[in-house]
Each structure stands twice: as C-alpha cells, then as structure tokens.
C-alpha cells in the first residue's frame, strides 16, 4: 500500500473525542497551598474542565451521574470516569499539598453556546 493510503495515517489515534457540554467556564482555575512546600515541590496536578464539571454537577449540585451525563451530553460511564479522576486529584492535592490547575481539553462547549446551535 502506498504511503499515506493506509488506515488512519495522519488522523491520530482512535476516535475523535465527543464534545462535552459544561455549565460554565471556571473563573478560578489555579489553586495552590498557602504555605510553600518543605523541600522539593512536587509537580502540579492538572484537572480538565470535563472532570471539574462532573465534580460540580454530582458533588456540588447533588445530581445523579445519569442526570449529570444528560446535562453534559455524555454517558453515565463517562461521568463516572471523570468524577472518579476528579475526586482522586482533589484528594491528592489536599493530602500532598500540591497545586491544582484546571485546563480545557478543547472538546468542551459552554452549555449556553451549545443550546444556540447553528
């Protein structure tokens, strides 16, 4: 097969990530301990908007994972994975006194923009 004609060449790995609807872009995206670390500081922890939104909807707003999935436009399983990852990152931040930085992945759409449509 000639170069460039094979399956998936130049298109990256796997499926494209599905767009995630988020309620809002977090205004505060960087958290750090009040006291400087003793010794060599550990690298920061990075949380995605998707993880933040799952944490916000389930733990802050009190929605079920299924309800959160409907709001975000993803499956309950996807919410479960994002929520589990977000909880672990928050616990790690608190226990180890590390920075937490919330960053977009590029596949998030604020809900008000998603509802307008083309």
Q: Does 1.10.1760 match the CATH number of domain 49-118? A: no
What is the average pLDDT score of the chain? 83
DSSP H helices in 1-118 = 49-55, 65-72, 76-96, 111-116
Identify the helix (H) or strand (E) that includes residue 9: none
Give residue 56's pLDDT: 96
pLDDT, tens digit, for every residue of 35-49? 877 788 889 999 999
pLDDT, tens digit, for every residue of 49-75? 999 999 999 999 999 999 999 999 999
Pairing state between β 100-103 and 30-31? antiparallel
């Amino acid at each position: 097969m000639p170069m460039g004609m094979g399956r998936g060449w130049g298109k990256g790995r796997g499926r494209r990530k599905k767009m995630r609807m988020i309620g809002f872009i977090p205004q505060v995206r960087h958290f750090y301990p009040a006291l400087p670390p003793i010794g060599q500081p550990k690298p920061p922890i990075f949380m995605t908007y998707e993880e933040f939104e799952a944490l916000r909807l389930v733990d802050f707003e009190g929605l079920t994972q299924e309800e959160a999935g409907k709001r975000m436009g993803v499956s309950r399983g996807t919410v479960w994975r994002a929520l589990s990852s977000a909880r672990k990152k928050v616990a790690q931040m608190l226990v180890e006194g590390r920075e937490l930085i919330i960053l977009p992945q590029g596949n998030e759409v604020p809900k008000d923009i998603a509802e307008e449509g083309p």
